[in-house]
Amino acid sequence: MNATVILIFVGCLFLLILFLWIVPLRLWFAALLSGVRVSLLQLILMPWRKVKREVIVNALIMGTKADIKLNRNELEAHYLAGGHVIPVVNALISADKANIPLDFKAATAIDLAGRDVLDAIKTSVIPKVIDTPPVAAVAKDGIQLIARARVTVRTNIKQLVGGAGEETIIARVGEGIVTAIGSANTHKMVLENPDSISKLVLNKGLDSGTAFEILSIDIADVDVGKNIGAILQMDQANADKNIAQARAEERRAMAIALEQEMKAKTQEARAKVIEAEAEVPLALAQAFKNGNFGVMDYYKLENLKADTQMRDSISKTGQPTTKKGGEIK
């Protein structure tokens, strides 16, 4: 008898736990006390639709307390699409309190686009400051300037879906700073009026097509860098010197080649002279044979040659000669 009672008690307790797990009475009662009308059957069927019922009910309670009308089916659809239901509802509440026009459809679109919709609303209320990395540019006088800027932006809710992010803002501001410094005649003008950079950059409309609205651009720091103009002139001078040296080396090589060519021509001419001199005895012998040249003529020729050599030796005797060391002998 006692065993039967225990079994009945255990069975009833199991059925009660199973009932409470299937039928979320606590969640339904909390929604009812908060003024949210959700049928108990829908709460039972939500897990079968792969919807976390605590998220949907809590979102409905938050919206009801903030006097924002929410639809259960829309919340479930956004949850099933992979969206973040609670941050979207928080963003709707923040936008409503800040008088920022934002409906549920736009908020879910922003959330599904991968952006933090709650952070976007906060940035719309409290502007965000973006620090740009150091931007180096060269003025017309060749002096390099390194500028750092601080960009104050706020979110443009209408451009959040499909609008460019912070990286585009930083890139455009950097481009504007380079243009502003590059258009200055001297670097002193930029150092004296750094606000001229921010004015020129602001007038370019850099926030078009982005998810932000630029409120102000402040030049935080401007440092003087290298003298790029002087460095370029030095590089040009070195390049010109190298070109001149190469051309001089080319001319020297051509002169050496010409000298060698002239030496070769001189040797060739000497060879021809020696060849011609070698033919003289043959011509004399032939003249002897033909009777055109006699013995007396030969002696006269030899005497003439000896006389010429004697005169040459006498003329050379009176001229000073130099040794290898450069001394006059």
Res 31: pLDDT: 72
Nearest CA to 63 out of 8, 114, 107, 14 is that of 107
Q: What is the pLDDT along the chain (329 residues), one digit of tens a residue?
A: 567 766 666 666 665 565 556 566 677 777 777 777 777 777 777 777 888 888 888 888 888 888 888 888 888 888 888 888 888 888 888 888 888 888 888 888 888 888 888 888 888 888 888 888 888 888 888 888 888 888 888 888 877 777 778 888 888 888 888 888 888 888 788 777 877 788 887 777 777 888 888 888 888 888 887 777 777 778 888 888 888 888 888 888 898 888 888 888 888 888 888 877 777 777 777 777 777 767 677 777 777 777 777 877 887 775 555 555 455 44
What residues form DSSP beta bridges with 128?
153
Beta carbons of 172 and 202 less than 8 angstroms apart: no
Domains of the chain (ranges plus CATH)?
A: 20-125 (no CATH), 128-227 (3.30.479.30)
Q: What is the Cα–Cα distance from 107 to 299, expressed in whole angstroms?
A: 133
**Is the dihedral angle over the CA atoms 194, 195, 196, 200 positive or is it negative?**
positive
Which runs of E-coded beta strand occur in the chain?
128-131, 135-138, 143-155, 212-227
Q: Of how many residues is the chain composed?
A: 329
CA separation, residue 118 to residues 122, 211, 283 (Å): 6, 14, 121
Radius of gyration for the alpha carbons in the chain, expressed in angstroms and rounded: 53
Q: What is the Cα–Cα distance from 61 to 68, expressed in whole angstroms?
A: 10
Res 169: pLDDT: 85
